[in-house]
Amino acid sequence: MSFQILGTGAYVPEKILTNEELSQMVDTSDEWITQRVGVKTRHISVNESAAEMGAKAAQRALEAAGISAAQLGLIVGATVSADQCCPSTAAKVQQAIGASCPAFDVNSACSGFLFALDTAAAFIVRGGIEYALVFGAERLSRILDWTDRSTCVIFGDGAGAFVIAKGENYLGSHLFTQGGESVLAIPLGKGNSPFYEKEVAPLAVHMSGQETFKFAVKQIVGGIRLIAEQAGITTDQINWIVPHQANIRIIDLAARRLGIPMEKFVVNIERYGNTSSASVPISFDELARSGKLKKGDLIAMCAFGGGLSSAACLIKW
Ligand code: ACO
């Protein structure tokens, strides 16, 4: 017994920030961002928190699933950009949608949604829960250094959610963590503690782009091969791949190494940028609503990010 996806939903804030507008803020250009990253526009939250965006994506997933918030037995959220560390983003979503079940967050940066999904899957296998909500919600714009052109051009805000229930459609999963903070870290600063002796980096995304890039390609390729092996299929039998939208060159290189055509990869980085844990569920929701999916299609999802972490899973539609 594993689970099936009953409904998906996504939400992005209204404000769109173009590469041209960003070029007025930092020393960059539409040409550099398009060629090196693949982003043209990203959505930026002006007033909405990660939890508020998560709640809107959750409502849409509940509507698609045809169940009410009161029927949920569990909510697992993923975020690295909550407005508060307490209450959890999942607890705030629970309140906003009118659910009454246990709710908690997992933090595995851009892989967070797939870690959250695997966590919810384990609860469903344990029994006692009929429906679970899993979401990724990010307001990355609040944790970026908007003077650092090597990071602020990459990211965007948004949220995506799944409603899942008992079923047989989760065919394989792989979670990976290689602990360390030298490649990617989001320090929170030291607050106003008078007791800190060591220098603490300010709140912002600190990233070694090229190291992350190499890790990402290796983990997408390795993760997809592993989940295919777990499910007893070959990688060319996978109908769709929903990758974390971090850099079009990462997706392109992974596709070539796997020998899987780019047409099978869901790509929307040009419109949203990297929305961290929201990236996979937003992309999956677009695929699910596109009308392209057929019953029985095999869909791989994969993500990578801070931790360092990576995750991949295989779903039967
Ligand atoms: N505009 C113009 N020039 C720029 C910009 C910019 N926005 N950013 C960097 N440059 C310059 C650099 O200064 C450098 O100039 P130099 O050659 O004169 O020194 C040059 O461009 C090349 O810089 P690199 O850092 O080598 O650029 P690269 O091609 O590696 O692209 C990038 C950088 C986009 C960050 C890429 O490495 C990448 O996408 N890495 C993966 C990031 C990722 O996947 N993150 C996901 C996890 S995030 C999370 O978990 C929260």
Nearest CA to ligand 1 atom 9: 150
266-283 pLDDT, tens digit per residue, is: 999 999 999 999 999 999
Tell me what pLDDT residue 170 has. 95
Residues in contact with 238: Cβ distance below 8 Å, sequence separation at least 6, in sequence order? 224, 228, 260, 264, 298, 299, 300, 314
For the Cβ of 204 lying below 6 angstroms from any atom of ligand 1, the answer is no
Tell me what pLDDT residue 7 has. 98
Tokens of 89: 């983003």
Tell me what pLDDT residue 118 has. 97
225-244 pLDDT, tens digit per residue, is: 999 999 999 999 999 999 99
- pTM of the entire predicted model: 0.96
For the Cβ of 36 lying below 6 angstroms from any atom of ligand 1, the answer is yes
Q: CA–CA distance from 193 to each of 86, 198, 199, 203, 303 (Å)?
A: 19, 12, 12, 15, 35
Mutating to test ligand 1, I would choose from 22, 35, 81, 213 the residue with most ligand atoms within 8 A of its C-beta, which is 213
- Is 25 within 8 Å of 172 (Cβ atoms)? no
For the chain, which domains are there? 2-168 (3.40.47.10), 173-316 (3.40.47.10)
Mutating to test ligand 1, I would choose from 23, 28, 36, 272 the residue with most ligand atoms within 8 A of its C-beta, which is 36
- In degrees and rounded to multiples of 5, residue 303 shows phi and psi of -150, 165
Q: How far is CA 133 from the centre of its chain?
A: 15
Q: How far apart are CA 181 and CA 316, in angstroms?
A: 35
186-209 pLDDT, tens digit per residue, is: 988 888 888 888 888 888 999 999
Tell me what pLDDT residue 1 has. 57
Q: How far is CA 70 from the centre of its chain?
A: 25
Instruction: Quote the radius of gyration of the chain (alpha carbons, Å).
Output: 19
Q: How far apart are CA 113 and CA 134, in angstroms?
A: 7
Report mean pLDDT in 10-residue bins for the chain, 317 residues: 92 98 97 98 98 98 98 98 95 98 98 98 94 98 96 97 96 96 89 84 89 96 97 97 98 98 98 98 98 97 97 97
For the Cβ of 176 lying below 6 angstroms from any atom of ligand 1, the answer is no
Closest by CA to 301, choosing from 186, 142, 174, 193, is: 174
Q: Which atom of ligand 1 is nearest to the CA of 307?
A: 50
